Amino acid sequence: MQIGIVARLDVHKAIELAGEVADFLINKDIDIFLDSSVVEKLDKYHDFAKDLQDMDVDVIIAIGGDGTILRTQSFIDGKNIPIFGINMGTVGFLTEIGPEETFHAIKEVLNGNYFIEERTRLEVWHNREVAPALNEVVLMTRKPAKMLHLEIRVDDEIVEELRADGLIIATPSGSTAYSMSAGGPIVDPRVNAFIIVPICPFKLGSRPTVVSGESVISVKLLREGKKAIAVIDGQFEEEINYMEEIIFKKSDQNAYFVRLTKEFYKKVREKLMKGGIGLE
């Protein structure tokens, strides 16, 4: 087995843990690659350095929060490499375990006691195919306190002409991220669906909508003189101009995660409580 290691670069403890994981795996004669950016921070393991986008391994251990997972996925797009997340962020819905469980969990993976979970991604088109989303695409203005005027279609049927601060198109994975904060529902990742969530809509009747995962969603910018930006998983931006359409549909390429348990709802409850939202 070959294993890649990446880590959140702005948290010293995450970088330290990456080094400890590297030592642990080397001592077990596992072939490893360590993200070049992490090697620079540690100033050691130079013989194991490899840029993330060049890794072709069996598993990538990502040490950080959901942002680290999303960044990792964007660099390995199309390779179908499963990611094993160790949470060093705040809530971390996409990560599997806490740092205190790291080495026990890695032993379980090395012993084959894990399964691979598939997560749906969102294909995004704007005159061309742009980066796919694992969590969500957020449409917003570049200027605070300015509204967008949008036409939303699902399978060529108009769903809404919307005036709002923005719009979120989310996958089930993204239903526990920005979409949830904006009032969208939590959706089990096994559900074949996407979520359309207005951000602070002018009309109170504009509510979140769950649509089939087989649908094609298109959003058109209706207000002349205003531009929008589409922010994809917080990683990439695409500028949208007046009367241009941005189109969303299910990607043919899923994301893959190494999991030790199948307890989705238990994990959601625990993460929400850690994030400051108590569930009775």
The CATH number assigned to the domain holding 72 equals 3.40.50.10330
For the segment 258-266, the average pLDDT, to the nearest whole number, is: 83
**Is-contact 184 209, C-beta < 8 A?**
no
279 falls within a domain: no
Together in a domain, 78 and 136: no
Which structural domain, as residue segments, surrounds residue 114?
A: 2-120+254-274
Predicted confidence at residue 95, as pLDDT, reads: 83
Note whether 149 and 246 are same-domain residues: yes
Ramachandran category for residue 125: left, alpha or beta (phi over 0 → left; psi -120 to 50 → alpha): beta
**144 found inside a domain:** yes
Q: Please tell me whether residues 126 and 194 are part of one structural domain.
A: yes
243 and 209 within one domain? yes
Q: Answer yes or no: do 99 and 135 share one domain.
A: no
Identify the pLDDT of residue 213: 95
Residues 174-184 have a mean pLDDT of 92
Count structural domains, the chain.
2
Residue 220, domain member (yes or no): yes
126 and 245 fall within a common domain: yes
For residue range 121-149, list pLDDT tens digits in order: 999 999 888 889 999 999 998 777 788 99
- Nearest residue to 18 via CA among 58, 64, 50, 53: 64
User: Is residue 85 domain-resident?
Assistant: yes
Residues 150 and 111 in one domain: no
Per-residue pLDDT reduced to its tens digit, 75-118: 998 889 999 999 986 667 788 788 899 999 999 999 999 999 99
Q: Evaluate if residue 279 carries a pLDDT over 60.
A: no
Annotation says 252 is catalytic: no
Q: Are residues 111 and 167 in the same domain?
A: no
State the Cα–Cα distance between residues 124 and 143, nearest whole angstrom: 23
Report, as an integer, the average pLDDT of 50-54.
94
- Same domain for 146 and 245, yes or no, is yes
- Is residue 14 over pLDDT 70? yes
Instruction: Indicate whether 92 and 164 sit together in one domain.
Output: no
Task: Say which of 35, 66, 165, 233 is annotated catalytic.
Answer: 66
Q: Are residues 150 and 188 in the same domain?
A: yes
Q: Taking 80 as the threshold, does the pLDDT of residue 72 lie above it?
A: yes
The verdict on residue 52 lying in a domain is yes
Going by pLDDT thresholds of 50, 70 and 90, the confidence category of residue 240 is very high
- Reference 22, options 58, 71, 63; nearest CA is 63
Cα–Cα distance for residue pair 265/271, rounded to 1 Å: 10
On whether both 6 and 26 belong to a single domain, the answer is yes
* CATH label of the domain that carries residue 161: 2.60.200.30
Structural domain contains residue 280: no
Cβ neighbours, 10 Å, residue 225: 6
End-to-end CA distance of the chain: 43
